[in-house]
A and B are shown apart, each in its own frame.
Chain A
Amino acid sequence: MSVYLDHAATTPMFDIAIEAMNTSLRKLGNPSSLHAEGRSTRKDVEDAREKIAKAVDSLASEIIFTGSGTEADNAAIKGLFWNSEKKVILVSQIEHHAVLDPAHWLVEHEGAELIEIPVDSSGVIDLDFLRSVVAERASEIALISVMHSNNETGVLQPIADVVKIAGDIPVHCDAVQSFTKVPLSFKELGLFAMTISAHKVGGPLGIGALVLRRAVEIPALLHGGGQERDIRSGTLNAPSIVAFAAAVEAKLYDARKVAALRDSFESGVLHARPDAVINGKGADRLPGISNITFPGTQSDSLLLLMDSQKVSCSTGAACTAGVHRPSHVLMAMGLTDVVSQSSLRFSFGSTNTQADVDYALSVLPDVITRGLAAHSVGKK
C-alpha cells in the first residue's frame, strides 16, 4: 500500500470540486465579457466569491482572487508597505517564505526595516516582544504579518492578541494552513488582510485569494485589466475559482477524525522511539500536522527510506534546488541546525485512515534504524 502523509504540502481535490471544475471548463465565457456567455461565467465567479466570503466571514467584495497563496502574501506585504509612509515591517520568525522573502526584498530594495518577532520553544510568538516594539515604535510600523498557524509544526498563533496589540497598524495573516481546519473569521479577528489557498483545502492548484478589508486600497503587483478591484489584473480563472468554492462549501474536512489519526500516529511513534520529540506539542496545534525530531538521524535519509516504503512525508523546510536546509522554523524554536535537520513533518488529511497510520508505524522502526546507521557513517 502507499500512504500519503503530506497533506500540508497539497491535499487531494474533493470529487465535488473536480466535478464543479469540469463543468466550468466546458463552459465558454470570459467573466469580464458583457455578452450572455460572459455574464453566465461572471455569475459563477461571483457565486463562488460569496461562498468563500461566507467561509472566511468576510464581505464578498473583500475577496481578491490570485494565482496562489504566495501571490496573495506578496500582494499584501508589498501592497501594505507601499501604501504606507512608514518603513518598519514586523513579521514572525516562523513565517512562510512567501511572507519572509517579500519582506526581505523590501529591506534590500525599498529601504524597509524588518523586525522579526521571536517564538518560544513550543513555537508560539512572543507577544511581550510585540507589545514592547509596538509601544516604542508604533508611529513607524507600516504593517505586521503573523501566520494563523505554522506550516511546519501546525502551531496556532494568537492572532486576536496580535490585532489587539497592533491597534491602528495594519495586520496581515497568512491563514493558508488554518483555513477550513480550525475556526477562522476575518471579521472577528479584525484583520486588514488575510491569505488563503485552494489546494490546501480540497480545491485545485493555482488559485488563492487575498482577503483585503473593504476600502483598503493597495498598489497592484500585476497591472492590466484591473479585474480584481484594480489590485489584481488577469482574466479570472473561473474553473479554478468555482472549484475552490465547491471544495470550501462542501465542508468535508473532519477535524476531529484527522486529529485522532494524528494523535494515534504520535503515540505510536513515541512508543516505538521513546527518544523522538514532537515539536510544538505543548502548544495548540492544527489537527493534521505532526513535526517529529528523530535524534541522530538526517531527515533527507529518512524521507528517502520512507518514500521507498511508499510512505510520503516531508522534511518540512524549504528547499534550495532540492537541497535540504535546516528549518528556520525549528531553529527559531531553539533547535540546533543538526537537530532541526533530524526532523520530519507528517501531515494528515481527510483521505487518511487508521490503516494508513498503522502501516506508517509498521515501517518506521526499520527506517529509523537505517537512518541512524546512515548518519553515523556520515560523521565518521
Chain B
Amino acid sequence: MKIIAAMSGGVDSAVAAARAVEAGHEVIGVHLALSSNPQKYRSGARGCCTIEDSHDARRAADVIGIPFYIWDMADEFHEGVVENFMSEYKAGRTPNPCLRCNEKIKFAAVLDRAKAMGFDGVVTGHYARTEETEDGRTLHRAVDPLKDQSYVLAVLNREQINGAIFPLGDTEKVDIRKEAEVRGLAVAQKPDSHDICFVPSGDNAGWLRDRMGSEVGPIVDQDGNKLGEHKGAYTYTIGQRKGLGLTVPTVDGSPRFVLKIEPVSNTVVVGSREDLAVTSMRGERPIFCGPEIGAAPLRGYVQVRAHGAALDCTYYLDGDQLVAELDQPLLGLATGQAMVIYDNDRVVGSATICETT
C-alpha cells in the first residue's frame, strides 16, 4: 500500500514508519506543523511541534530512507482543536484535545488529504492494535498497558480505522526504544511528550486565564451559600480539591470538592466527597469503532480518562445517546470528557459525556 507516516519527531512515530517500510508499504513521511508560531526548542518533556521536533522527524525519515515533507495544518489545528478546547472550558466542560486532534486532524484532515492524493492510509506511532474480524476491522488495546492509547483513538469511525495502521500495538515501549537504537534512530532516547502540546507550560488554568480573562465569581455550596470567590470558573475541574481558597470550614472539617461548574452564572459549586459519586453517565455523538450496538444492554467496561481504570458497567444506546451504568460509583466525573466502552480489550466506541447522575 501507499501510505503516509505521520511523524512527530518522537521515537514512536519513527519506529512505526520504519516498521511500515519493512512491511512492504510505500511510505512517505509527513510532519504536521500544528503551530503557526512554533517554538525553536522543546522544553523538557512538554510540548511538541517545535522546529527541533520537525528536524528530528526529518532526520528519522532520512535514516529510514523515505521522502519527507511538512504539512502546515496550523489553521486546521487552531480551529478544530485549540478553539474547541477554549469553548468547551467556557461551557463548563472538560475537553480532551488529544482525542479531538485524532478525530479532526490526524485521521480526518490528514487521512482525507492523503486519500485524495492517492494514498491508501495513514500510519502513526499510537499504541493500539487492530484486528481483522468477520465484522470487519476492529480496534483493540495495546499489549503495553502503561502506553495503551486506544482511549484517545476511540473517536475514530470504522472508515477511519480502516485507513489507519498502528504498527506498535504489539510491543512494549521499552522495546520500541531498543529497536530505535538498533535502527540507528537518534530519537531513541528522546523523552515522551506529556500533557497538552499547545500548553507547553503544563499550566492549563494559567493558559486559559491568559486567553479568556479571569472573571471573578462565587464559589457556593449545594444550598447556594457563598463560601468564597474564584478567578474564572473554567479553570476548575470536577473533583478538584486543591486551590479552592475557601475560608469557611465544613462543620466536620472534611474537605470540599468541585461538584459542578455553571458557566452562565460563572459559579463553582462545591460539596463533599460523597456528593461527587456518579453511578451513571450519558454521552452524546456516539462513534463506533467497530460494529454498532443497539438498545439491548450489554456488559463491558467504561473508561473516562486516558489512563484511567476500566470500570465494570452495563452499556446500551438510548436514542442517540450512549449510556453506561456503573457497578461501583465513581468519584468526580466531568462532562466533556470522553466515555470509551470496551468489550474486553476491544474498543466498542466512544461518546462525549453530557450528563452524569
Measured between alpha carbons, how far is A378 from B112 in the docked complex, in Å? 8
Give which listed residue, A304, A321, A323, contacts B117 with CB less than 8 A. A304
Give which listed residue, B70, B113, B115, contacts A322 with CB less than 8 A. B70
Shortest Cβ distance from residue A26 to the other chain B in the assembled complex, whole angstroms: 31
**Cβ of A377 < 8 Å from any Cβ of B?**
yes
B116 touches A377 (CB 8 A): yes
B69 touches A370 (CB 8 A): no
B69 touches A322 (CB 8 A): yes
Give which listed residue, A304, A371, A376, A380, contacts B69 with CB less than 8 A. A304
CB contact list, A272-331 vs B, under 8 A: 300-301, 303-305, 307-308, 321-324
**Cβ of A374 < 8 Å from any Cβ of B?**
yes
Give which listed residue, A304, A370, A377, A380, contacts B28 with CB less than 8 A. A304
Query: Which residues of chain B have C-beta atoms less than 8 A from A308's C-beta?
Result: 28, 67
CB contact list, B68-124 vs A, under 8 A: 69-72, 74, 76, 109, 112-113, 115-118
* Chain B 225-237 interface 0/1 with A at a Cβ cutoff of 8 Å (1 = within): 0000000000000
Report 17 cross-chain contacts, Cβ distance below 8 Å, ordered by A residue: A300-B70, A303-B69, A304-B28, A304-B117, A305-B117, A305-B118, A321-B33, A321-B55, A322-B31, A322-B70, A323-B33, A324-B72, A370-B116, A376-B116, A377-B112, A377-B113, A380-B112
Query: Which residues of chain A have C-beta atoms less than 8 A from B109's C-beta?
Result: 378
Nearest B residue to A372, CB-CB: B116
A321 touches B116 (CB 8 A): no
Measured between alpha carbons, how far is A374 from B111 in the docked complex, in Å? 10
* Chain B 22-39 interface 0/1 with A at a Cβ cutoff of 8 Å (1 = within): 000000100101000010
Measured between alpha carbons, how far is A380 from B115 in the docked complex, in Å? 14
Query: Which residues of chain B have C-beta atoms less than 8 A from A322's C-beta?
Result: 31, 33, 54, 58, 69-70
A321 touches B67 (CB 8 A): no
A interface size (C-beta, 8 A) = 19
A321 touches B118 (CB 8 A): no
Other A-B pairs, 13, CB within 8 Å; known A303-B69, A377-B115 = A300-B69, A307-B67, A321-B55, A322-B33, A322-B69, A323-B33, A323-B74, A370-B118, A371-B117, A378-B76, A378-B109, A378-B112, A380-B112
Nearest B residue to A305, CB-CB: B117
Closest 9 CB pairs of A and B: A322-B70, A373-B116, A377-B112, A374-B116, A321-B51, A323-B33, A323-B72, A374-B117, A374-B113
Binding site for A on B (CB under 8 A): 28, 31, 33, 38, 51, 54-55, 58, 67, 69-72, 74, 76, 109, 112-113, 115-118
Measured between alpha carbons, how far is A371 from B117 in the docked complex, in Å? 6
Query: Which residues of chain B have C-beta atoms less than 8 A from A376's C-beta?
Result: 116
A321 touches B38 (CB 8 A): yes
Measured between alpha carbons, how far is A266 from B69 in the docked complex, in Å? 26
CB contact list, A97-148 vs B, under 8 A: none
Query: Which residues of chain A have C-beta atoms less than 8 A from B28's C-beta?
Result: 304, 308
Query: Which residues of chain B have C-beta atoms less than 8 A from A303's C-beta?
Result: 69
Given the contacts A308-B28, A321-B33, A321-B54, A300 and B113 also touching, CB distance less than 8 Å: no
Query: Which residues of chain A have C-beta atoms less than 8 A from B116's C-beta?
Result: 370, 373-374, 376-377
Residue from A303, A323, A377 having most chain B Cβ neighbours under 10 A: A323
Query: Which residues of chain A have C-beta atoms less than 8 A from B38's C-beta?
Result: 321
Query: Which residues of chain A have C-beta atoms less than 8 A from B115's C-beta?
Result: 377
Nearest A residue to B70, CB-CB: A322
Measured between alpha carbons, how far is A321 from B58 in the docked complex, in Å? 10
Shortest Cβ distance from residue B232 to the other chain A in the assembled complex, whole angstroms: 33
B112 touches A321 (CB 8 A): no
Measured between alpha carbons, how far is A13 from B228 in the docked complex, in Å? 75
Nearest A residue to B54, CB-CB: A321
Measured between alpha carbons, how far is A303 from B30 in the docked complex, in Å? 13
Nearest B residue to A319, CB-CB: B70
Given the contacts A307-B67, A323-B70, A301 and B54 also touching, CB distance less than 8 Å: no
Measured between alpha carbons, how far is A305 from B118 in the docked complex, in Å? 9
Query: Which residues of chain A have C-beta atoms less than 8 A from B76's C-beta?
Result: 378
Measured between alpha carbons, how far is A308 from B74 in the docked complex, in Å? 24
Given the contacts A305-B117, A378-B113, A380-B112, A300 and B51 also touching, CB distance less than 8 Å: no
Query: Which residues of chain A have C-beta atoms less than 8 A from B51's C-beta?
Result: 321
Nearest A residue to B30, CB-CB: A304
Query: Which residues of chain A have C-beta atoms less than 8 A from B58's C-beta?
Result: 322
Nearest B residue to A341, CB-CB: B72
CB contact list, A334-375 vs B, under 8 A: 370-371, 373-374
Query: Which residues of chain A have C-beta atoms less than 8 A from B72's C-beta?
Result: 300, 323-324
Query: Which residues of chain B have C-beta atoms less than 8 A from A371's C-beta?
Result: 117
Query: Which residues of chain A have C-beta atoms less than 8 A from B31's C-beta?
Result: 322
